[in-house]
Amino acid sequence: MDDVSKLMRRHTYLTKASMSLTYGILVSIAVNFFWDPGHIYSSGVTGFAQLLNTISSRAFPFTISTGLGLFLLNIPLFFLAWRAIGHEFTIFTVITVFLSSFMIQLLHPVPLTHDPIICAIFGGAVNGFGTGLALKNSISTGGLDILGIVIRQRTGKSIGTINMAFNALIVIAAGFAYGWPYAFYSVLSLIVNARVMDMTFTKQQRMQVMIITNRPNTVIDSVQNHLRRGITIVHNAEGAYRHDAKTILFTVISRYEMNELEEALLESDPNAFASISDSVKILGRFYEPKP
C-alpha cells in the first residue's frame, strides 16, 4: 500500500507541475501576444505588474518588466501562504508564479494585432482558460488567491469587495495610462477572463440536488462513499401515478462532483429520479477540500 500511495502522490505532483507549466505558457501568451500589444491590463497582481511596468518605463531610469514585477509582488504573499495555509500549497504556488514570470520574460511580445477589442477578448479567454486549468488541479496562481484563502479560513468571508476594489484601481490606471476607452477594454477582458475561468473551473459552482427513490439507504451509502456530502431525508413521500412509497433526499454538491453523483446513482438505484439546479446562495457550512 505504501508503494501505491507513493506512486499516486508522485503522479499528483507531476500533474500539478505540468499544469503549472501550462498555466505559465498560457498567461505569457495572454500578456505578450494580446494584452501588451493592445494596451490592456489584466486583473489582480498580474495587472498590477503590468502597471508597474508602464510606470517604471515612463517615470524611472529603469524598467521593471511584467514578469519580474509579477514575481516580486508575490514574495510577501508566499510568506503568508507558508505560515497560514500550508507548505505543499506554497511550494506549488512558488513554482507556478516562477514559471509564469519566466515564460513572460522568455516569450517576447508578438503583436498579432493591435485592435484593443480583439486583444481584450482573446487575452482574457486564454488567461481564463489557463487559470481555470490551474484551479481545477488545485494549484494557486498566487496573488489575491492567497489572500482570499487566508481571509476565508479565518473569517469565513470572501474578499469579493477587496478584489473588486483592486481591479477597479487597475482599470482606472489603464484609463490614465492609455486613455479611457482602454479602461473599458480592460473591463471587457476581465469579464471574458472570469467567464472562461468559470466554464473551465467548476468546483466553486454549487448545485442543489433532489433525489426521489424507493431505495434511500442504498442511495445514501453510495453517494456518501463517492462524495463527502451531507444528505437530508424526507420520509413518507408518495408517487402520484402509482401511489407507491418514496423517499426524497436533498443535498448540495459542486458542479465538479456531477460525474461522481451520476456514478453513485447508477450503482445504487438506476431508477431514481434526480433534479439538479443551480444554487444561488448557501448559508451555513459547506465542506470544501483544503488547498
Are both 155 and 226 inside the same structural domain? no
Lowest mean pLDDT among 37-41, 103-107, 196-200, 286-290: 286-290
Residue 76 within a domain:
yes
Predicted local distance difference test score (pLDDT) of residue 169: 85
Residue 69's nearest CA partner among 60, 124, 162, 118 is 60
DSSP letter string over 197-261? HHHH--TT-EEEEEEEES-HHHHHHHHHHH-----EEEEEEE-TTT--EEEEEEEEEEGGGHHHH
Point out the least confidently predicted range of 146-150, 168-172, 191-195.
146-150
- The answer on 189 and 80 residing in a single domain is yes
Residue 253 burial (CB count, 10 A): 21
> Residues 148, 237: one domain?
no
Secondary structure class of 3 (helix, strand, coil): helix
Bigger pLDDT: 149 vs 71: 71
Q: 174 and 49 in one domain?
A: yes
287 within a domain of the structure (yes/no): no
pLDDT band at 75 (very low <50, low <70, confident <90, very high): very high
| Structural domain range at position 90 | 2-200
Q: Are residues 131 and 243 in the same domain?
A: no
Cell of 259: 460525474
CB contact set of 59 (below 8 Å; sequence gap of 6+)? none
| Region 140-153 average pLDDT | 78
What three-state secondary structure class fits 5?
helix
CA-CA distance, 286 to 288, in Å (whole number)? 6
Q: Are residues 60 and 9 part of one domain? A: yes
C-alpha cell at 262: 451520476
Is residue 103 located within the same domain as residue 229?
Answer: no
pLDDT at 31: 93
Q: Are residues 259 and 162 in the same domain?
A: no
pLDDT value at residue 154:
72
Whether 183 shows a pLDDT value over 60: the answer reads: yes
- In terms of pLDDT, which residue wins out, 145 or 193? 193
Domain assignment present for residue 22? The answer is yes
Phi then psi for residue 13, to 5 deg, are -65, -40
Same domain, 139 and 216: no
* Statement: residue 160 has pLDDT above 80: no
Spell out the residues 6+ positions from residue 261 whose beta carbon is closer than 8 angstroms to its own.
209, 223, 226, 227, 253, 274
124 domain-assigned? yes
Q: 226-261, pLDDT tens digit by residue? A: 888 888 899 888 888 888 889 999 998 877 677 788
- Average pLDDT over the chain, rounded to an integer: 84
Is the pLDDT at 5 greater than 80, yes or no?
Answer: no
Q: Between these two residues, 70 and 133, which has the higher pLDDT value? A: 70
Segment 25-29 shows an average pLDDT of 93
The rounded distance, in Å, linking the Cα atoms of 279 and 258 is: 14
The last residue of a domain, from among 176, 200, 224: 200
- pLDDT digits 0-9 by tens, 147-159: 777 776 676 665 6
Task: Name the domain boundary from 149, 173, 200.
Answer: 200
3-state secondary structure of 274: strand
Report the number of distinct structural domains present in the chain: 2
Using the predicted structure, report yes or no on whether residue 78 has a pLDDT greater than 70.
yes
Q: Are residues 189 and 171 in the same domain?
A: yes
For residues 194 and 231, membership in a common domain is answered with no
Domain CATH code at residue 238: 3.30.70.120
At 171, is the pLDDT very low, low, confident or very high (cuts 50, 70, 90)?
confident
Report the run of H or E that residue 275 belongs to, with start and end: strand 273-278
pLDDT at 9 over 90: no
Tens digits of per-residue pLDDT, 83-131?
888 888 889 899 999 999 999 998 877 778 889 999 999 999 999 999 8
Structure confidence at residue 1 (pLDDT): 46
